Amino acid sequence: MSVAVEATEEAINFGPRRLGHVNLWVGDYKRNTKFYNEVLGFKLEATEPGILGSFLGNGNTHHDIGMVEITTGEDRVGRDGQILIPKEISNKIGLFHLGWEMENEAVLVEAIDRLKETDQPIAFFADHQLSHSIYIPDPDGFLHEFYADEQSDWKKWFKGELELITGVWNPGENEPHREVRYDPNPELYGVDSAPLHPRYITHSTMIVSDFARALHFYEEVAGLKPISVMEGSHACFEGGVGRYVFSFFVAQDDDEVGMHHCSFELESEEALERSLSVLKEQGVAIEKEVDNESKRSLFVLDDDKIRWEFFVERERNFATIAAADPAERPYLS
């Protein structure tokens, strides 16, 4: 049964435009960078050796995917002496954080002011030079970054091997800007020799431990709009631009809590079929294919078993999710 959930007056409601990027903990960032570039088709935008990290994309934004090696037993420190990666916070491969793009810095700071009046934990604030960000944990402890772009032309300097770029941000210290600094019409590119040619990061799917706590966080804290809710099972949401951006599913049996997958849209079904053929020719394992009224898609695992979906949308029908076996539902999101 689907239910509508009303936001409370106490909602923090960041209300991001869309999902901007996903950042990962990986076992070997150089190895994974090679796979994401040569197989999945993302251009390497920049590396930050000081934090053992790399950033890849397709022109859509400064990075669609970021990755950092899991903790090696030492703090990794950015500009201003800020500890960016405490040695305690990750020795486990998987999701580091989801990055949610805000309309501008003023909207971001207004949401932060509302948040400070609640008991919602804050992990840290960051000045990435190309963006200002707040990081907050969800009920299962995974981080969500809400950020506003600071550089309208990030391609001029976000490239190559970078020094430590992240420092401390103090929201409200200076008057926050209200102009749009993201590119509403980016020029996309890719890796011609790669089997896959992704266009946009569209949505992420999480496995959560508690339905009610997750629904409260994603609706009233993150400020996403529920578009399909099945009580006790799952919920799907859209962002500020009116596109589907996120879903969560309650863990079943031995499911591991965390990111189930992240999804990228391909240009056409013909492009998907060509990519599928080349992937198989190259011996890249396809974990799963979906072919229904909502979408045509394929799922690939990277070397760390992190799951990615590449899809073409048809006529999305969220009822197909509710009608499926619970174990299959996340793949249909």
pLDDT at 8 over 60: no
Compute CA distances 257 → 140, 199, 208, 252, 306, whole Å: 8, 28, 5, 10, 13
What's the confidence (pLDDT) of residue 254? 87
The label of the residue with tokens 């090679």 reads 34
Instruction: Provide the pairing of β-strand 244-250 with 200-208.
Output: parallel
Domain boundaries, the chain: 18-161, 200-332
pLDDT band at 160 (very low <50, low <70, confident <90, very high): confident
Global pTM value? 0.93
Contact call for residues 148 and 172 (beta carbons, < 8 A): no
Cα-flanking dihedrals φ and ψ of residue 32, to 5°? Answer: -65, -35
Q: Which of 34-43, 73-82, 220-229 has the lowest mean pLDDT?
A: 73-82
What's the confidence (pLDDT) of residue 128? 86
257 — alpha (psi -120 to 50), left (phi > 0) or beta?
beta
The CA-CA-CA angle for residues 148, 70, 51, to 5°, reads 55
Instruction: Provide the pairing of β-strand 244-250 with 234-238.
Output: antiparallel
Q: Which of 36-40, 52-56, 264-268 has the lowest mean pLDDT?
A: 52-56
Question: Topology of 200-332 in CATH?
Answer: 2,3-Dihydroxybiphenyl 1,2-Dioxygenase; domain 1 (3.10.180)
pLDDT at 4 over 60: no
The CATH-assigned architecture of domain 18-161 is: Roll (3.10)
Assigned token pair, 64: 């669609």
pLDDT at 1 over 70: no
What's the confidence (pLDDT) of residue 10? 61
What's the confidence (pLDDT) of residue 2? 30
What's the confidence (pLDDT) of residue 75? 80
What's the confidence (pLDDT) of residue 167? 76
H or E stretch at 138: none
Which residues, 6+ apart, have CB-to-CB distance to 276 below 8 Å?
286, 289, 298
What's the confidence (pLDDT) of residue 78? 67
Q: In this predicted model, what pLDDT tens digit does every residue of 278-311 receive, in sequence order? A: 999 999 999 999 999 999 999 999 999 999 999 9
Domain 200-332 in the same topology as domain 18-161: yes
Q: In this predicted model, what pLDDT tens digit does every residue of 77-109 receive, in sequence order? A: 766 676 777 777 777 899 999 999 999 999 999
Higher pLDDT, 182 or 155: 182
